[in-house]
Amino acid sequence: MVKRFRYVFLVLALLMPASFTSAAFTAAELTSLQQFPTAVAVLDDASTQLAYMIIFSDTTNRTTIDSAWSNYLNAVLNISKAEAYLLDVDPVTDGGTFANRAAAVALANTAVNAAITNLNTLHTNFTSLASVTGCGGGKCIIDCTAGITTAGSCGAGGVNTFRNFASNGATHTNTAITALTAFNQVLTYASPNSPWYPQVLGPHGDFDDAVFDMAQAVNETATGLQGTRQAWDWVTNGESAYSGPALYNASTPCDAVGGSELMGFCRLIVRMGGNIMLTMTSTIRIYGLIPDNQAADYPGLQREDAMSAVQLIAQQYEGLYSKQSGGNQSRTHQHPGIPYHYDNLGSDSWIPLTAAMTTRPVARALFFTAWHQLTMTAWRRSDGSGWNSFKFTGTDQNDATLQSLRTTESQTSTRGKLNDPNGPPVTALYP
């Protein structure tokens, strides 16, 4: 692999005539790449349903839940790899780029197909868990017709039961499969750049290292959750079962009256699944400038494909690194960013799970290794991606140089300035 030196390209771009047209993803490729944010969003919904089900894991449903947990994480890893390959960055080695673009695209297609295989199996897992004969010929958990019971399987009025979670998970997974299947593997994606390449962020950042860090953040989080899954598998570890909820809270499924060790696993998956979704979505939207082709996620915000480049980038970074779910740190006031989730890991997961590990030596070793990946290592990568996107080095710190770069138009005179919030919408920038 070879490293691209984006600053060198940036200087060359400034010297090019205004009529020079940047190679970029085509409009058809843009439409195809928009399937990734769609798949990632619904896959996060599926993981949340899985987390709710883990509260009620027992010896009857353990094997199927274990398979679903593993297949979800393998799908995540394959989708993340596909994104990086399509941005011409090797997510496995050192963030280098490919001398042969066709080889990178082929790897992306392979990763997409592997993710679809993972999701098909995950869909089978969810379907089995929702079936009355899905676990050894019997129900995976008891059913209730109404009320909240001490058996921990029902919500108020029978809503949000274990089987409903499984059915919802199957629906979300099927939507993710449909999205990834719609990704066009015939297109060449020959020019893996946004129309603003190389003036992407900062205006000078290390594009390749930033994408690589994003992919590694997903890898560390998913791998850490695989380790957590192994710590949860009390049967394989030869240890006692974890405690379930005494009473089930239907309005907040990860909560349990009186506390629960399995509640810690539930909250951990919900928070880390959210981190994975944020990271993968930001990777494709920030570095590829691939907007969501759906209506605005939040009231009062315009569609992403109607935003200028700087609006799309700013909104993604603001959500990714927002500390709070409300207040003035987040424009949307709804989706908390990665720091918010990490701030709440202590009370949500650390306390109940470390208490559970005191009598489980096998799980304890697995859990603490996984916890290190989920926190220190994954956060270092996601935080590093932000720094790499905006860092300035050497002569770039000269004020006159920075001002020149910030006000320079794109590689064609009709595209306006990158940092102009009133510039043309992202989709208008593509050939």
Region at 289 (left for phi over 0; alpha for psi -120 to 50; beta for the rest): left
**What is the C-alpha separation between 168 and 310, in angstroms, rounded?**
36
Domain limits, the chain: 6-411
pLDDT digits (tens, 9 = 90+) for 358-393: 889 999 999 999 999 998 899 889 888 887 776 654
Residues sharing a CB contact under 8 Å with residue 117, sequence separation 6 or more, in sequence order: none
The tens digit of pLDDT for each residue in 176-199 reads 999 999 999 999 999 886 665 554
Report the C-alpha gap between 148 and 158 in whole angstroms: 8
Residues 287-301 pLDDT 10s? 888 887 665 555 555
Let me know if 15 is exposed, middle or buried by CB neighbors in 10 A (0-12, 13-18, 19+). Answer: exposed
Tokens 């949307």, residue located: 332
Which residues 6+ apart lie within 8 Å of 220 measured at CB? Answer: 373, 374, 377, 378, 381
Residue 67 or 423, more confident: 67
Q: What's the predicted TM-score (pTM) here?
A: 0.85
Q: What is the pLDDT of residue 95?
A: 63
Task: Tell me what the mean pLDDT of segment 250-276 comes to.
Answer: 80
pLDDT in tens, 112-161: 999 999 999 999 999 999 887 877 777 777 555 444 444 444 544 344 57
Q: For 251-389, list the strands marked E by DSSP.
A: 256-257
> Tens of pLDDT along 386-407?
877 766 544 444 555 555 555 5
Mean pLDDT of 68-76: 97
pLDDT tens digits, 23-46: 678 889 988 999 999 999 999 999
pLDDT of res. 209: 82
- Taking 50 as the threshold, does the pLDDT of residue 51 lie above it? yes
The CA distances from residue 312 to 18, 218, 420, 422, in Å, are 24, 21, 11, 12
Regarding predicted confidence, which is higher, 312 or 178? 178
Among 98-107, 110-119, 189-198, 325-334, the minimum mean pLDDT is found in 325-334
- Residue 197 has a pLDDT of 56
